[in-house]
Structure 1
Amino acid sequence: MRTFAVTSILLPLLASFIPQASATALTTAVAANQRLCFHADADKKGEKIGFYFAVQSGGSFDIDFEVTAPDGKVLLEGKREKQGDYVFTANSVGEYTFCFENDMSTLTEKLIDFDIMVESEPRREAPLKPGQISDKTSALEESIYRLRNQLTGIQRTQKYFHTRENRGMSLVQDTFSRMFWYAVLETSAIIGMAVFQVYVVQMFFTSTGRRYKV
């Protein structure tokens, strides 16, 4: 009974230590010469906004990106970036815009994985009774944040291997396509050369076998 009572007190308390977060994990295709934008809202100042992206396939696996604040100020930008992982503080309330631009490619489509996360700072509230289970709360809070950091590291590792796998598969498919069309071109050249040789030999014997009357 004592364990149940302590647990019933700890769970609501620990829930207040965990940051409130909203995240969006998407995969999108950006066509050649296309600009594609996504939006995330910050409800209050001081919220942490995380932005991660990685080009999975297409061309040299690079893309242009831009992040703008609600007032139109450019917070982050990059040219021909393969991937990025950024965290910044929302200094103003409103809609933040995340854009990808594929202007450097005239034919190639780019496939991109990206995450947009808006996270509130944790609320550290005192226990209902001063001094009650404070030591246990501190230890559990530290364990929760340690586990959270470890899970974040695991997620980043999974995304890294996922990106490497997709890029490797894209390179394999591109190499296979080039080899296939090279084989088709080589076969066509051999067939064309054989037909030309037959035609030349036929013309040679036809011209030498002609008879002329005097």
Structure 2
Amino acid sequence: MPSTAPRSAASPFRLLLCTLLLALFATLIPSAEASALTTTIAANERTCFFALVDKSGEKVGFYFAVQSGGSFDIDWTVTDPSDTIVIEGERERQGDYIFTAHLIGEYSFCFSNDMSSFSEKLVDFDIMVESEPRPVAPAKPTALTEQTSSLEESIYKLSGSLSSIQRTQKYFRTRENRNVSTVKSTQWRIFAFSISESLLMCGMSAFQVWVVQRFFSGPSRRRQV
């Protein structure tokens, strides 16, 4: 009967390796709270959203893009719990910002459409609050140091690639929505211009017929000799 001692000796090693890899992967996942929203802001309206920061030094990410309405621009302001403006912008189409929250409390993210008198704006935005300390790998045997280090670097590369893909998707989504809005606006303008042109031609034709009728239906004038 063949001996099974080597296989049984390798099983605890594999189990330990899997446990360490799972623990390392768990430490690499940052604790984050995010919200992806879409809101409509009417003309002369100001809308605010709030995010809670429960620890000083946390990173706050703020992304927005105007999808439709007017010139695709909006005024925005980010204030901290003491009502101090952290960052702000005027008539911007989109933005992607990351800042460090030094105060604990609610941060407000406000959009203002005061510059528009009749056009409403459709805004897509993300607010993310995350705490991302440098992960520390648990105690591990020296033989696994090289494997866990390569795994850590691979996870960081995958995380960066995923963030790049998400940004690209957001960019193309914004471009698509803006192009659709521009096409719809152009179609409506062409339709309105065609109707106006048709009404103008009908009016001019009726006016010409009326002038000809008035010219021939008037009383005949006789020359006096």
TM-score, L = length of structure 2: 0.88
Q: Does 1:151 align with 2:162?
A: yes
5+ residue gaps, structure 2, are 1-10
Q: Secondary structure in 2 aligned to 1:133?
A: helix
In structure 2, which of residues 14, 21, 26 is the aligned counterpart of residue 3 of structure 1?
Answer: 14
Q: Could you say which residue in structure 2 is the equivalent of 1:60?
A: 71
Q: Does 1:71 align with 2:71?
A: no
> Are the equivalent residues in 2 in contact too, given 1:32–1:103 (CA < 8 A)?
yes
State the Cα distance separating 1:126 from its structure 2 match.
Answer: 4.3
Q: Could you say which residue in structure 1 is the equivalent of 2:54?
A: 43
Q: Could you say which residue in structure 2 is the equivalent of 1:12?
A: 23
In structure 1, which of residues 133, 153, 162 is the aligned counterpart of residue 144 of structure 2?
Answer: 133
Aligned sequence identity (%): 58
Q: Could you say which residue in structure 2 is the equivalent of 1:202?
A: 213
> Are the equivalent residues in 2 in contact too, given 1:34–1:101 (CA < 8 A)?
yes
> Are the equivalent residues in 2 in contact too, given 1:55–1:110 (CA < 8 A)?
yes
Q: Could you say which residue in structure 2 is the equivalent of 1:189?
A: 200
- Deviations, residues 69-114 of structure 1 (Å, cap 9, x unaligned): 0111100100101111000011111111000000100000111111
Distance in structure 1 (CA, Å) of the matches to 2:145 and 2:88? 45
The amino acid that maps onto 1:184 is: I
Distance in structure 2 (CA, Å) of the matches to 1:188 and 1:24? 50
Distance in structure 1 (CA, Å) of the matches to 2:145 and 2:166? 31
Q: Based on CA coordinates, which of the two structures has the bigger radius of gyration?
A: 2
State the Cα distance separating 1:135 from its structure 2 match.
Answer: 2.7
Q: How does 1:165-184 map to 2 (within 5 A)?
A: 165-184=176-195
Distance in structure 1 (CA, Å) of the matches to 2:221 and 2:35? 82
* Matched length: 211
In structure 2, which of residues 67, 79, 92 is the aligned counterpart of residue 81 of structure 1?
Answer: 92
> Are the equivalent residues in 2 in contact too, given 1:67–1:97 (CA < 8 A)?
yes
TM-score, L = length of structure 1: 0.92
Distance in structure 1 (CA, Å) of the matches to 2:126 and 2:112? 17
CA RMSD of aligned residues (A): 1.9
State the Cα distance separating 1:157 from its structure 2 match.
Answer: 0.7
